Structure formats: structure tokens, C-alpha cells
């Protein structure tokens, strides 16, 4: 089955397939979380979702693929960025979600998962 991220449902399905992820409230909205920490949220902008990421990676993603990764003033300075649905590179989007998982994982979860994507 090919990876696609055309909707919030696609994001949730992918994220919830990662180990130990569960849907819990995040600012009043059910979102995929690991160890109580959000991986992604529907975002505030139509046609996009928000994914958590480290600031240095955020800058790289914004610079190298602005058609997929972007931000509004609301997300500036926050450890998250917006991802447009329907990316031409769904594997890259999947890796960003996997890294969000890895960054929130406990040591034992990381060891079971393997190296950071």
C-alpha cells in the first residue's frame, strides 16, 4: 500500500500505526500522542496539518521544500510546522512524523524502534 497524506485521517492512521501511539486530547482535539506528547494536530490552516519537530530541522524543511512545509506567524518560534496535504514526497512526510515519534519516545521505546529516522 502506497503512503499518502491527503487528509487528517491519513495522518492519524499512519501515526497510530507507530508503536504505543494513542489518540488523546491536545488543545481540545483528539490527536496522536506518544507518552502524553503530541506528534501532530489538525492545525489551524485549511489543507494542512501541524507536526512537531526540532527548530533546526524545521528551518531545513521550510527551506528545502516550501511547497510541502510552511508556517504562519502562529507557528513561528514553536516546535512545529505545517504540512500541506498531498505532498509529492509522502516518504519525507512519513519520516518527519517518525522523527516526531522518536523525539517523544522513552529510551526503551527508542531502542526497540531503532535509529532516529
In this model, does residue 67 exceed pLDDT 90?
Answer: yes
Of 54, 58, 56, 55, residue with least CA distance to 69 = 58
Q: What is the CATH number of domain 8-108?
A: 3.90.1150.30
pLDDT digits (tens, 9 = 90+) for 70-85: 999 999 999 999 999 9
Per-residue pLDDT, 17:
97
64 Cβ contact partners less than 8 Å away, ≥ 6 residues apart: none
Mean pLDDT computed over every residue of the chain: 95
In this model, does residue 1 exceed pLDDT 90?
Answer: no
Element (H, E) at 80: strand 80-84
pTM for the full model? 0.94
Rounded Cα distance between 44 and 42, Å, is 7
Amino acid at each position: 500500500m502506497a503512503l499518502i497524506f491527503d487528509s487528517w485521517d491519513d495522518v492519524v492512521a499512519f501515526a497510530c500505526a507507530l508503536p504505543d501511539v494513542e489518540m488523546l486530547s491536545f488543545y481540545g482535539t483528539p490527536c496522536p500522542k506518544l507518552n502524553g506528547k503530541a506528534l501532530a494536530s489538525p492545525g489551524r490552516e485549511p489543507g494542512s496539518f501541524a507536526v512537531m519537530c526540532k527548530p533546526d530541522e524545521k528551518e531545513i524543511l521550510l527551506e528545502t521544500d516550501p511547497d510541502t512545509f510552511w508556517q504562519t506567524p502562529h507557528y513561528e518560534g514553536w516546535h512545529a510546522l505545517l504540512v500541506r496535504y498531498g505532498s509529492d514526497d509522502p516518504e519525507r512526510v512519513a519520516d518527519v512524523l517518525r522523527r516526531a515519534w522518536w523525539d517523544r519516545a522513552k529510551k526503551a521505546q527508542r531502542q526497540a524502534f531503532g535509529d532516529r529516522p
